[in-house]
Structures are given as C-alpha cells and as structure tokens.
Structure 1
Amino acid sequence: MTNKNGWGNLYLVFVFALLYAPILYLMYYSFNSAGNMHEFEGFTWEWYAEVFQDTRLIIIVINTLVIALLSSTIATMIGIIGALAIDRIRRRRLKDTVLSLNNVLIVSPDVIIGASFLILFTMIGIKLGFASVLISHIAFSIPITVLMILPRLQEMSPSLIDAARDLGASRRDVLSKVILPFIKPGIFAGFFMAFTYSLDDFAVTFFVTGNGYSTLSVEIYSRARQGVALSINALSTLIFLFTVMLVVGYYMINRRATNKPRREEPIAVGGPR
C-alpha cells in the first residue's frame, strides 16, 4: 500500500513539475537585468516598470477585464435560466440530449468555434471589435455556467420548493428566496470559471478581433512573434498571479457558501415544528 502511495505521489510531482516548470522559468527571467533568457545577470524591476509605462498595454488590459466581466456576468445570468430550464425537463431522453448539446460546445475545438463566429459576423455584417469579442465570449461561457449551476439544482430537494409554496410563497419568492440562495455556490463557480476562460482565451478571440481592438492573449502572441522581450515575461507573470488570486478567492467564497447551509440546517428543521 505504501509503495502504491509513493508511486502516486511521484507521479503527481512529475505532472506538476511538467506543468509549472515553464511558468516558473518565465517568471524567473522576468527579473533578469540582462534582457535575455539565457543568462541571469542580476535582479531588476525594469521590465515590470516597462509594462506599467506602456499606455497601449494598459488600455488592452482594461479592454480584457471589461470583456471578461461583462461576458461572465451575462453568461451567468443566461446560464441560470438555462440550468433551470434543463432541470425542469421531465423526459429523460430529451434532457440527456440537451445536456449533450451543451457539453459538445465545451469540448469543441476553439479554432472551429472561432472560425464559425468569424463567418457568422461576416455574414450578418457585425464589425469585428468589441461587440464581436463580447458576443463570442458570452457564447462559449454559457455552457460552462450551465455545467456549474445544474448539479446544485439537482442536489436540491423538491420538498424545499413544496414547503415554500405551502407557506404561500409566489413563484418569484420561491426563485429569489429558495432556489437562488441554494444554488449560490454554483453561480459563483460558473461566474469565476467564465471569467477565467474569458481572460485566458486566445483562439476564439484571435478570429473575432478587428483592427484597433485587442485583448491580452492576442497582444502577447503578437509581441512574442516579434522576438523575446522580458516585458512579455513580466506581463505573463502578472496575469498568472492575478489568475491565482481569482482561484483562491473562488475557493474561499465557495467553501464559505457550502458550509453555511450546514450550520442553518438544524434551524430549518426545527422551524416548522
């Protein structure tokens, strides 16, 4: 048994080392005063200062955050409606079909999705830029939010809704005071997942961005093609640290939200008695 655990731990160490070694290498040389990624000469903040002094880059960062916030918020709202609609489907085969169609959009190659949106926007005359990027990010974020919210709906006991209706609650009250508070962890999970997907997306965004508008992922790609610049390392490091903060914040909120019903459960049981 100990031998199996040892091999399992060794495998995990290997996988994490393979995943994080390039990131740590990139972060390490973002402090290199030599200006290259071959020999570390000395520690410097020069490349981080260059990032914050680049006005165009700051505008692109703002564009990326605006797109991520808007798309994740709208996608979460639509995802709540979609999850509620799927949960109310009684026919098993129809529900499985709808879920399969939702999941196909998640596993579909980003290149196919991006090319499809490019053709769609060209056909209907939408100019490539802010609107095209926002619509695309909302579209590929909706299946993610549905997938995060639906399991919480399925965990909810129908007796909660029946009890609320017996006490005279309207449909609006049932939704706002029973269903939404119960599925709040799933809503937060869907929002954070959609937000991070929007921040990190490159393939779809690359197809639907126009001249004069860009996001961080596309900008980093275009700069990297011009040659190695340690300002890219500094920018990538900042994005990575920001993503880590988002993940930690999500887990803290999710943990607090999932523990809250357990503390309130004795009160809920004792109330009707």
Structure 2
Amino acid sequence: MKANGGWKWSHLYLIAVFVVLYAPILYLVVYSFNSGGTMHGYDGFTLEWYGEVFSDTRLLIIVLNTFVVALFSSLLSTILGIVGAIAIHRVRRQRTKSALLSLNNVLIVNPDVVIGASFLILFTMIGLKLGFGSVLISHVAFSVPIVVLMILPKLQEMNPSLVDAAKDLGANGWDVLTKVILPYIKSGVFAGFFMALTYSLDDFAVTFFVTGNGFSTLSVEIYSRARQGVALNINALSTLLFLFTILLVVGYYLITRRNGRIQEAGARL
C-alpha cells in the first residue's frame, strides 16, 4: 500500500521511528548551546557549557576512568572472546556446542540488574574492594559473550581445509592461529572489539552496582548529576559522547568496508 506521492506506508513508519529515536537527542544537542541556562527557552548561542565541561577536573578524571575501563575491558574481552569462540567452534558434538552457546548467551539476555547484583554479592563475599578492578571485571564478563557471537560466524565461514593445509605444510598451532585463523576472522574481531567498547561506555546498570565511593564512570556520574536537576553542562557532555559514538560507528563502517574490498580483490585473484 502506498500513501500520496508514491510513498509507501513503511517509509512513513520508518521516518516516524527515526524521529522518535533522534528527536530527544537533537533537542539535547540544541540546548547544549543555549545561553539561557535552562531547557525551557532558547535565549541564544553559547559555548559556555562546553567550557564548564573541560574546566571540571573531577569530570575529566571520570571521563578518563570511563575510557580506560572501556579500552582495557574491550581488549581483554576480545582476547577471551577469540579463545572462547575457537573453543566452541572446535567442539564436535552438536549437543555440547549448543549447550556452550546457550551458556554464552545467558549474560546477554540476562537483565543487567541481575548481573550487577550478582557481581556485587560476589565481590562482597570475596572481599574485593569496589572500584576500578570490580568495574573492569564486570565489564569483561558481560562483553565476552558479545565478542564470541561476533567471531563465531566468521569461524563457521572458514574452510577447514585452510587449517589442514597449513598443518600439512609444517605450521604449528601458533602459526595456524596467527597466520591463518586470525587474518580470516579479523573483521569479526574488530566487530567484537567495537561492540564491547560501545557496551562498556554505555553501561549503567551493572556499573552502578559495582562502583566504589572513590571511582565512577560517566554513566553513573551523569545519572547522579541529573537527579540534582538538569544542568546544560550535562547536555554538553552528552553531546560530546554522542559525537564520539558517531565517530566509532563511522570508523567501524570504514574498517569493515575496507576489509570487504580486500576480500573481494583476493577472491578475484
């Protein structure tokens, strides 16, 4: 069915969905430049709130904490995800493989509140002080299953004869991993890394449970400040985070596009 002018109703529905999703973000971005200090009336353009963000030493330290946790957790999650995906892929029995995949998916479908509370209880029982270490461990835990799901399809696409040929030519296990398997699945590895990075930067529920008094991340800090009243420096900070997320998405798109062209060129040869 088509609307007036040849438009399909599905197009109108898609536009409505994007408006609902992006209108609040656009509203937030526009008022981050409001000189009036409130979100009830636009009085003029200013960069004052961005200046406040960069002059707030505590906030800059929290930004640094957030990115350090995200980068370290993404790196560790990617390494563990590669090992886990290869281990699951090599399981011969289909029932065992399905069971392992189900266990891997538990942390993805499980509510974040349950995961956060579970880690809080665990860290309390073993006497681990809440802070950088507890947040890092928690982020690694919920990021590894995501990385595994990103890498497994690439392993399933790989022809097993590539590994057999490498072994026949004298390659040991490390050579097979670094010179055959990793180059083939690198697009999945990049996808898993960026997904883990995004999830770590975005997470609030789990982090809220395992953050100590002397350590915080941006999501927890923004929530704490928003409870005291919406200040436009929060808008400015959120705008910067949104722009950074766009850069990540564009970077991931360019990397996958480049890898696709390389694979197409290799297939032609």
| Category of TM-score, reference length = shorter chain | over 0.9
Q: CA deviation at 1:262?
A: 2.1
2:226 corresponds to which of 224, 227, 246: 224
Distance across 2 between alignment mates of 1:106 and 1:58? 30
* Bigger mean CA deviation after superposition, 215-224 or 253-262: 253-262
- 1:163 paired residue number: 165
Q: CA deviation at 1:266?
A: 4.3
Distance across 1 between alignment mates of 2:249 and 2:44? 32
Calculate the TM-score normalised by the size of structure 1: 0.95
Distance across 2 between alignment mates of 1:66 and 1:81? 23
Q: How many residues align?
A: 267
What amino acid is the match of 2:125?
M
Q: CA deviation at 1:264?
A: 1.6
Q: CA deviation at 1:232?
A: 0.3
Calculate the TM-score normalised by the size of structure 2: 0.97
What amino acid is the match of 1:188?
F
Name the SS for the 1:183 alignment partner: helix
1:27 corresponds to which of 15, 26, 29: 29
Name the SS for the 2:191 alignment partner: helix
Aligned ranges for residues 1-273 of structure 1 at < 5 Å?
6-267=8-269
Distance across 2 between alignment mates of 1:234 and 1:100? 41
Structure 1 stretches lacking a partner, 5+ long: 268-273
Distance across 1 between alignment mates of 2:61 and 2:258? 35
Give aligned-pair identity as a percent: 71
Structure 1 residues 171-198: Cα deviation after superposition (integer angstroms, max 9, x where no partner):
2111111100000000000000000100
What amino acid is the match of 1:51?
V
Distance across 1 between alignment mates of 2:67 and 2:98? 35
Q: CA deviation at 1:2?
A: 5.2
Structure 1 residues 27-68: Cα deviation after superposition (integer angstroms, max 9, x where no partner):
110000000000000000000000000000000000000000
Distance across 1 between alignment mates of 2:263 and 2:234? 45
Structure 1 residues 116-174: Cα deviation after superposition (integer angstroms, max 9, x where no partner):
00000000000000100000000000000001011100000111112222222222111
Distance across 1 between alignment mates of 2:64 and 2:12? 41
What amino acid is the match of 1:172?
W
* Bigger mean CA deviation after superposition, 38-47 or 252-261: 252-261
Aligned residues: CA RMSD: 1.2
Distance across 2 between alignment mates of 1:173 and 1:211? 46
Q: CA deviation at 1:5?
A: 6.5
Name the SS for the 1:83 alignment partner: helix
Distance across 2 between alignment mates of 1:17 and 1:94? 45
Name the SS for the 1:128 alignment partner: coil
What amino acid is the match of 2:176?
V
Distance across 2 between alignment mates of 1:162 and 1:224? 57
What amino acid is the match of 1:23?
I
What amino acid is the match of 1:230?
L
Name the SS for the 1:31 alignment partner: coil
Q: CA deviation at 1:257?
A: 1.4
* Bigger mean CA deviation after superposition, 99-108 or 127-136: 99-108
Structure 2 stretches lacking a partner, 5+ long: none
Q: CA deviation at 1:259?
A: 2.4
Distance across 2 between alignment mates of 1:184 and 1:254? 10
